[in-house]
Amino acid sequence: MNVSGRVVSILVLVTIMGACGTALAAESPSGSPSPVPALKWAPATFDTFTDKVFLTVELHGSLLNDVEDRRPMSDSFGYDVKAGWRWKTLGVFFVFEQNMWVTSQFELGVTQGVANIGLGLEVNYLGGYARTSVAIGPSILLFDTAIDEAGNTGFFLDVRPIGMRWPINRFFAITLDPMSFAIVAPALDRIPLVMIQFRTTLGFEFVM
């Protein structure tokens, strides 16, 4: 092959290499293969908890109680389940709870306490991270006392001045009520059975 033939071959090779480089650059502006985007965790916001049905399961305890004329009854603890609908700032819910009582008349023990059933209203603020709620309804005595029989029915009132909510993702959140106020009064005739409780409540909420 003479000199002119070699020059032509080199020019053809350079042209092919240039065309390949242009095609690769068109696929990736930086000239290198595009990296696969990494998955990123996006913090949840309260927006995903509005205009939906919500369900909350909570545990509560109270070491600060005042029982009118029933000194053997003191501390209490229990659980509750709430189901409701929430708009942007307002929410309504149905609540069922069992509030068990620690007694110490003859020896330390735990009674079935009461079953509380009620309707409630909540107000959400601070971007949904804080809320205030109130619930009211009947309170049913679940055990016999020296004065009252199981099945006696009175009322209960649950007031939570400020509670907190931390969304974990779009569907789940942890809730905390550091201090709430409850009146549990399952027996109002003869000697009233009225317990005033200062509760701390921890819960888990999810939306559907």
pLDDT in tens, 173-190: 999 999 999 999 999 888
Contacts of 157 (CB under 8 A, 6+ apart): 134, 135, 136, 182, 183
**What pLDDT, on the 0 to 100 scale, is given for residue 58?**
98
Q: Strand pairing partners for 153?
A: 140
**What pLDDT, on the 0 to 100 scale, is given for residue 105?**
62
Count of all residues that appear for the chain in the document: 208
Average pLDDT over residues 91-112: 87
**What pLDDT, on the 0 to 100 scale, is given for residue 42?**
44
Is residue 53 scored above 80 in pLDDT?
A: yes
Q: Using an 8 Å Cβ cutoff, are 164 and 180 in contact?
A: no
Residue type, 160: R
Q: Tens of pLDDT along 128-178?
A: 999 999 999 999 999 988 888 999 999 999 999 999 999 998 899 999 999
**What pLDDT, on the 0 to 100 scale, is given for residue 24?**
45
pTM: 0.73
**What pLDDT, on the 0 to 100 scale, is given for residue 45?**
77
Q: Tens of pLDDT along 71-94?
A: 545 689 999 999 999 998 999 999
Average pLDDT value for the chain: 81
Residue 72's region, left for phi above 0, alpha for psi from -120 to 50, else beta, is alpha
Distance CA 64, CA 60 (A): 12
Distance CA 47, CA 66 (A): 40
Q: Where are the beta strands (DSSP E) in 145-171?
A: 155-167
Q: Which of 90, 110, 89 is nearest to 100 (CA)?
A: 110
**What pLDDT, on the 0 to 100 scale, is given for residue 54?**
96
Backbone angles phi, psi at 140, to 5 degrees: -115, 125
User: Does an H or E element contain 145, and which?
Assistant: none
Residue type, 114: V
